[in-house]
Amino acid sequence: MMNFIDALMQYEFLQKALLTSMMVGIICGVIGCFIILRGMALMGDAISHAVLPGVALSYMLGINFFVGAVFTGILTAIGIGYISQNSRIKNDVSIGIMFTAAFASGIILITLMKSSTDLYHILFGNVLAVRPTEMWSTLFIGIFVLVSIFIFYKELLVSSFDSTMAAAYGLPTKLIHYFLMALLTLVTVASLQTVGIILVVAMLITPASTAYLLTDRLWVMIYLSAGIGVLSSILGLYFSYTYNLASGATIVLAATVLFILAFLFSPKQGLIWRTIKNAKKREMHSHSKTGLEE
Amino acid sequence: MTTALSVSKLFVSYNGNEALKDINFTIDEGKLVGIIGPNGAGKSTLLKVLLNLVNKDAGSVEILGKSIKEMKTRVAYVPQRSNIDWDFPITVMDTVLIGTYPKLGIFRRPKKEHKSLAMECLEKVGMTQFHNRQIGELSGGQQQRVFLARALAQKPDLYFLDEPFVGVDVTSEEMIVSILKELRNKGKTVVVVHHDLSKAKDYFNELILINKELIEHGIVEKVFQPEILNKAYTNQFTPIILEDVIL
């Protein structure tokens, strides 16, 4: 542990890595709450994969890769919605068809660029090599995402909880859906360096699910989820640096361990307390039964 | 008397199948109206048209003489219990507070006055002591009362309720009915999609009987005739059972 702190004081690249992954922990944690409450975990996975061709195209055209990523991300989201609304194909199947197609196109585009190391880093992340420009763009995306969610908190709450009422009083629920998809693509791109495309879905849903097991209030869940995301990033980066492991993998596994702890020990939802409570109830009833027999 | 709701020449279809055919009726202000009909008759579809959630093929719907779009914040909707995610991290109080959102618009947040309004509405449905509970911890009847409180907090002119008595205990049902009657007496218009014929007579002033088409609309005594009900329910009940229900 001391080694890690010493290194952190000493090496600028490690400081940048830590800051970037903490920011990613926050924004993934916040947006992840809405993803899981709207039952869109699979959609989150799909959109994060669909970013790949956009990133590749942006490289080729020499433009900022947020532009390309948002473009292919939203295009895929629209395609998914269009197929499931205009045929008998179910939504999950439509998601499967569209995101694999987008991802496959991305692989071909990147192969055309003849740069397999880039592909590896985009897929799996390499936070220790994060550049200052990437750190800054993560910060700006983070601020944009957090401000958007702060401003539209009420609308996101009601459209996630009761979309029929939201639509009835005039909220543009479809627009809100695609806006959320756009935020999701931004968050995915911001997370590329840290956890990579393949594992970003874990940062979206695991800390949010952990928080979901710990509270009954949405705003508490959002703060908790952000906090858990940050904690996962710090722990993950520590193990990544100390044992020379891929940062994306260690961060995700740290988040998973925190989830398992909540799953077992959450005061209200945890497996352990539930089992104890059920056992107590059963014991009580078995006593009262023998009492009757006497 | 002013017309609260008027529907004329309404046609709706899903994928080429007609769900509602040539529906015409008007409801006056200050009425408690039940929409009844067999399963698949298009009752919920009709309600969704009235809320502007389903595209119609033809016809018009007017609320207090204006288009639905202009009036959407003057209408409150109580959804079917089965359409709500009861595990959502939200308390009873915050659920009722959502009722104040339509009038707040996008940038304003609920303040003290809105919170005290929400509390008053919870008091009306007898749920004050549960205000801090997560909504999934309540019984079916209590949940329905919370959603009625949310509708009250909207302070609308019209109330639309979709099957509000399904899975609801007797006490809650009586309480909800008495609140709806009180709203009617204050001049509000209440429209309820309802499936239980046995209670329909006691609850409503008027009934709208549909089975894809409008079979009959009028005061309860007029609609609640065996030969009229038979027209809508031919495939579901034998006439003998229907008579049992009516008597």
- Residue A2 has which token pair? 């001391």
A164 touches chain B (CB under 8 A): yes
Q: What 3-state class would DSSP assign to B194?
A: coil
Q: What 3-state class would DSSP assign to B34?
A: strand
Per-residue pLDDT reduced to its tens digit, B67-118: 888 888 899 999 988 889 999 999 999 999 999 999 998 888 999 999 999 9
- DSSP code of residue B32: E
| Chain A residue at shortest CA distance from B90 | A217
Contacts of B101 in chain A (CB under 8 A): 154, 158, 169
Query: Would you place residue A289 in the very low, low, confident or very high pLDDT band (cuts 50, 70, 90)?
Result: low
DSSP string, B101-146: HHHHTTT----HHHHHHHHHHHHHTT-GGGTTSBGGGS-HHHHHHH
| Chain B residue at shortest CA distance from A155 | B106
- The average confidence (pLDDT) of chain A is 89
Nearest CA of chain A to the CA of B38: how many Å? 23
Answer whether A216 sits within 8 Å of B109, measured CB to CB: no
pLDDT score at A172? 94
Answer whether A152 sits within 8 Å of B106, measured CB to CB: yes
Answer whether A162 sits within 8 Å of B104, measured CB to CB: no
- Beta-carbon contacts of B120 under 8 Å, excluding residues fewer than 6 positions away, are none
pLDDT over 70 (residue A288): no
Give chain A's domain count: 1
Answer whether A168 sits within 8 Å of B53, measured CB to CB: yes
Q: Give the one of A158, A164, A170 whose C-beta lies nearest to B98's C-beta.
A: A158
Per-residue pLDDT reduced to its tens digit, A77-119: 999 989 988 898 999 999 999 999 999 999 898 888 766 556 7
CA distances for B27 relative to A58, A124, B59, B119, angstroms: 59, 62, 16, 31
Query: Would you place residue A133 in the very low, low, confident or very high pLDDT band (cuts 50, 70, 90)?
Result: confident
Q: How far apart are CA A192 and CA A52, in angstroms?
A: 10
Answer whether A161 sits within 8 Å of B72, measured CB to CB: no
A179 touches chain B (CB under 8 A): no
**To which H or E segment does residue B246 belong?**
helix B239-246
Contacts of B106 in chain A (CB under 8 A): 151-152, 154-155
Query: Would you place residue A279 in the very low, low, confident or very high pLDDT band (cuts 50, 70, 90)?
Result: confident
Contacts of A169 in chain B (CB under 8 A): 72-73, 75, 101-102
Query: Span B145-169, mean pLDDT?
Result: 94
**Sheet order of strands, B189-193 included:** B66-67, B58-63, B3-14, B17-28, B213-219, B206-211, B32-36, B189-193, B158-162, B75-78
Answer whether A216 sits within 8 Å of B53, measured CB to CB: no
Q: Which position has the higher pLDDT, B126 or B239?
A: B126
CB A51 within 8 A of CB A196: no
pLDDT over 90 (residue A218): yes
Determine the topology of domain B3-84+157-246 in CATH: Rossmann fold (3.40.50)
| Chain B residue at shortest CA distance from A167 | B53
pLDDT score at B235? 57
A12 touches chain B (CB under 8 A): no
Per-residue pLDDT reduced to its tens digit, B159-214: 999 999 988 999 999 999 999 999 999 999 999 998 878 788 889 989 999 988 88
Query: Would you place residue A294 in the very low, low, confident or very high pLDDT band (cuts 50, 70, 90)?
Result: very low
Q: Which domain holds residue A209?
A: 2-293
Q: How far apart are CA A115 and CA A110, in angstroms?
A: 7
Contacts of B79 in chain A (CB under 8 A): 162, 164-165
User: B201-236 b/e with 16+ CB inside 10 Å = b?
Assistant: eebbbbbbbbbbbbbbbeebeebbeeebbeebbeee
CB B80 within 8 A of CB B166: yes
- Residue A132 has which token pair? 């200052």
Answer whether A162 sits within 8 Å of B98, measured CB to CB: yes
Per-residue pLDDT reduced to its tens digit, A156-193: 999 999 999 999 999 999 999 999 988 998 998 888 87
In terms of residues, how long is chain A?
294
Q: Give the one of B51, B85, B101 whose C-beta lies nearest to A154's C-beta.
A: B101
A217 touches chain B (CB under 8 A): yes
**To which H or E segment does residue B162 belong?**
strand B158-162
Contacts of B53 in chain A (CB under 8 A): 164, 167-168
| Chain A residue at shortest CA distance from B49 | A168
* CATH code assigned at A250: 1.10.3470.10
pLDDT score at B246? 56
| Pair type for strands B206-211 and B3-14 | unpaired
Could you give the percent of chain B with pLDDT greater than 90? 58
ipTM passes above 0.90 = no
Answer whether B90 sits within 8 Å of A218, measured CB to CB: yes
Query: Would you place residue A267 in the very low, low, confident or very high pLDDT band (cuts 50, 70, 90)?
Result: confident
Per-residue pLDDT reduced to its tens digit, A226-249: 999 999 999 999 999 899 888 889
Q: Give the one of A162, A170, A221 whose C-beta lies nearest to B72's C-beta.
A: A170
pLDDT score at B238? 52
